[in-house]
A and B are shown apart, each in its own frame.
Chain A
Amino acid sequence: MPTTAIYTILISLALIVGSIWASNSLDFLPAVASSNAPIYDELFKVLFVIGTVLFIGMTGLVIYSLIQFRKRPGQEGDGLAIEENLPLEIFWTAVPAVVILFVGLYSYDIYNRMGGMQLLSSDSHSHHSMSAQERLWGGIGEVKQEENESEVLPVINVELSAMQFAFLFNYPKGEIISGELHVPVGYPVRMRMESKDVIHAFWVPEFRLKQDVIPGQPTILNFTPTKTGKYPIICAELCGPYHGGMRSTVVVEEPDEYIAWFQKNSKSPDIEA
């Protein structure tokens, strides 16, 4: 059976190469506009390649079996009485287990790079006086700043309150309340979120981030926008009849534009953004 083995290896290789090519050339995701979006897309590509190889491989086996082993006219009797094969069972238990372990460790690494494993309560940037009792649950912790950056950029603090069916963004520094989120490109943003009525969710597809906004339970989301532009903010948790219409915009702008917007709207204009 060496020819079968050669064919199997060749087909598997073609599948792997084909799915790597597809993951690089096909565009499945929206624009990349935050520091964790490229990390996310890296994970997506790895999962896409593994998934495509598995799916096409298994589907191919099913279709091949249906054609090759179909009962032809005039054939009588049964198929082969093969009941089990222990080495084979061990093989297809071990291989998926290793793949799953790899995916798990890899996604842990991705999540860590996104800042997900950082404790949310240990924040030195926040200007709120948070009581020790207050539990903060959150999406993503603080994104690790790039190592080559010599200066540590100040964190933009925003408070989001959600209600049926709107998002309100409060900039405590300048006492600004806005229906749109304005953030300067490249600066880390720390958003403290709480809902006034039911559960909502803050989602920006271009940031690859989502966090529920919960009544009675503040949540924290940290992100760093990396590309200027306007992106949709979408409520992703069913919140009532107008759930589909509960949208807003995040405006990622150059730092000087952001400062101009901030000073124009600020009630205490002498404070810098």
Chain B
Amino acid sequence: MSISIPPNTESNSKKLQPTGWLRYFSFSLDHKVIGIQYLICGFLFYLIGGVLAGAIRIELTSPMSDFMARDVYNQVLTLHGTIMIFLWIVPVVNGAFGNYLIPFYVGARDMAFPRLNAVAFWLIPPAGLMLISSYFINGAAQSGWTAYPPLSITTPAAGQIIWIISVLLLGGSSIFGGINFIATILKLRQPGLKLMQLPMYCWAMLGTSILVVLSTPVLAGTLILLSFDIVAHTGFFNPTLGGNVIVYQHLFWFYSHPAVYIMVLPAFGLVSEILPVHCRKPLFGYSTMVYSIMAIVALGLIVWAHHMFTSGTPPWMRLFFTIATAFIAVPTGIKFFNWVATLWGGRISINSAILFSCGFIVNFILGGITGVALAQVPFDVHVHDTYFVVAHFHYIVYGGSVFVIFSSIYHWFPKFTGKMLDDNIGKLHFILTFIGFNLCFAPQHWLGLNGMPRRVAEYDPQFTFVNQISSVGALLMALSTLPFLWNIINSLINGKESGPNPWKALTSEWLTSSPPPVENWIGEAPLVTEPYGYGHKTKNSNSPVQMNKKQETS
């Protein structure tokens, strides 16, 4: 017997739950259903955030503010940032894939706290709808996703308060998820499965969840203080009442810099799962990959003030945060060298999943290089709060995380649905996305260096042409969504049956039917101690997957 959890007391309640498509609208406790709920909900918000991005790019095709009212423009950019971060990337790279995959990877039948898991998901749709509906009440928040006071105190209060409540709910959801992942990874591991045998995504989620649990409460506290300033006219951050606006920035970035790692570390984990399967090679340098994730987590908590180099920071602080920030490039670099080494000498199937993963590597390296440059105070004092920064972080969160989300959808869609996606349409989707993305954001580096600040609806006419190129790129990105959507819908209906393991992968989500049964495996859970055991050597010996074989921990 190697069942790691005692006979599940939840099974009875699960039997009462709806089956079929209706269960995706229910308070389901099945981690796989919750994962899909996160994914689809996140994707719908991605489409809304994308429409808002389109509105921004239309406004910026001309140097005058002529497409929408100026305050509406600020609402649009605030909503775009908030939706893309809190309702798309964070819930999808953590909630969607985390919920679906982590129980498989640790050999469990569900997450540690299934009810908390469902609560965490069901906080998201109302929070998101509330955030968007604030636009129709009295105008949405218009102080950017950073909500710096005193601007956030002096702009119309209703939108800002709704924004705060939404972000608090989403932060709560994130904390619930983080606690659940930590408990599941550390406590629900199958007997015999050692920590250093876990797939890399588990390590990425463990690191991410530590960041979530340590830093999100700080954001929550900060936003509660900010709401007191708005509603009760307290003076925490209001300089006219003796408050300090810089303190808000420190508290805000104490969460919001780690938030970048909350968006990219899970993506790093997902890529580490996808590459070995399609390269037919072990993940290169497993143990250094694990240590570098933990190094990123530790360093990620002590770099926040690099967002404040022009705010008013004493010289010693600028120096410290420059060095700490730049050194994150070392563990991050290790991961990229290891991925390239994983490609090297492989037998690579050139499919949509691998193309999006390689697109991620290329985009993220550029974003990482501009990141090291931005960490240098003398460099930052020129380009801070310009389009250079806009380009940089879109290379990180879109070129990085969103490319990985698409790669993961191509990789795990057969597991989610039992159907294959059309790979040729997938390649078209990749080409459109990759060209559109780079056309949209690469020119923005130049805009920032030459004097275009971010968050403006009007700009110097000398930048018109480059902005139009960028908008054409945005149009291509919008168009790239169409083949993707068509591919999803068409494959769901007419797609080829995938079978349990179309990629001949070794991790345990593939060692069950597609889609998997309610408690993941019929019979005992397989014990996978070599999740990356591809390659010639293992070819002759037995499969590294030790089905139903108990290993004593010594």
B319 nearest in chain A by CB position: A108
Partner of B244, one of A89, A216, A240: A216
User: Which chain A residues lie closer than 8 Å to B314 at the CB level?
Assistant: 137
Bitwise interface map of A from 132 to 155 toward B, beta carbon under 8 Å scored 1, else 0: 000001111100000000000000
Listed stretches B27-35, B118-126, B281-289, B488-496; interface member: B281-289
User: Which chain A residues lie closer than 8 Å to B450 at the CB level?
Assistant: 28-30, 205
Q: A71-B349, A100-B372, A232-B451 are in contact. Are A210 and B381 (CB under 8 A)?
A: yes
Majority secondary structure, B binding face:
helix
Q: Does B435 contact A (CB under 8 A)?
A: no
User: Which chain B residues lie closer than 8 Å to A141 at the CB level?
Assistant: 315
User: Which chain A residues lie closer than 8 Å to B282 at the CB level?
Assistant: 81-83
In the bound assembly, the distance between CA atoms of A66 and B338 in angstroms comes to 15
Bitwise interface map of B from 230 to 242 toward A, beta carbon under 8 Å scored 1, else 0: 0000000001101
Bitwise interface map of B from 283 to 312 toward A, beta carbon under 8 Å scored 1, else 0: 111111000000000000000000000111
- Distance between A172 CB and nearest chain B CB, rounded to angstroms: 22
**Contact present for B326 and A100 (CB under 8 Å):** yes
User: Which chain A residues lie closer than 8 Å to B431 at the CB level?
Assistant: none
In the bound assembly, the distance between CA atoms of A239 and B333 in angstroms comes to 37
Partner of B382, one of A66, A209, A217: A209
Within 8 A of B (CB), among A36-65: 36, 39-40, 43-44, 47, 50-51, 54-55, 58-59, 61-62, 65
User: Which chain A residues lie closer than 8 Å to B534 at the CB level?
Assistant: 78-79, 81
Bitwise interface map of A from 69 to 100 toward B, beta carbon under 8 Å scored 1, else 0: 11100010111111111001100110011001
Q: Does B323 contact A (CB under 8 A)?
A: yes
User: Which chain A residues lie closer than 8 Å to B381 at the CB level?
Assistant: 139-140, 208-211
In the bound assembly, the distance between CA atoms of A92 and B332 in angstroms comes to 11
Listed stretches B191-199, B256-264, B457-465, B513-521; interface member: B457-465
- Distance between A157 CB and nearest chain B CB, rounded to angstroms: 20
In the bound assembly, the distance between CA atoms of A114 and B379 in angstroms comes to 11
A234 nearest in chain B by CB position: B453
Within 8 A of B (CB), among A222-254: 232, 234-245
User: Which chain A residues lie closer than 8 Å to B338 at the CB level?
Assistant: 89
Q: Does A201 contact B (CB under 8 A)?
A: yes
Within 8 A of A (CB), among B30-51: none
**Contact present for B330 and A96 (CB under 8 Å):** yes
Number of B residues near A (Cβ < 8 Å) is 98
**Contact present for B65 and A212 (CB under 8 Å):** no
Partner of A83, one of B150, B245, B284: B284
User: Which chain B residues lie closer than 8 Å to A62 at the CB level?
Assistant: 340, 343, 358, 361-362
In the bound assembly, the distance between CA atoms of A78 and B536 in angstroms comes to 6
In the bound assembly, the distance between CA atoms of A116 and B285 in angstroms comes to 41
Q: Does A103 contact B (CB under 8 A)?
A: yes
**Contact present for A51 and B369 (CB under 8 Å):** yes
Q: Does B151 contact A (CB under 8 A)?
A: yes
**Contact present for A117 and B315 (CB under 8 Å):** yes
Within 8 A of B (CB), among A180-238: 197-199, 201, 203, 205, 208-212, 214-217, 219, 232, 234-238
B residues within 8 Å of A by Cβ? 65, 69-71, 73-74, 142-144, 148, 150-151, 154-155, 239-240, 242-246, 279-288, 310-315, 318-319, 322-323, 326-327, 329-330, 333-334, 336-338, 340-341, 343-350, 354, 358, 361-362, 365-366, 369-370, 372-373, 376-379, 381-382, 384-386, 446, 449-451, 453-460, 532, 534-539
Apart from the given pairs A80-B536, A199-B148, 4 other A-B contacts in the complex at a CB distance below 8 Å? A44-B379, A71-B349, A92-B334, A211-B381
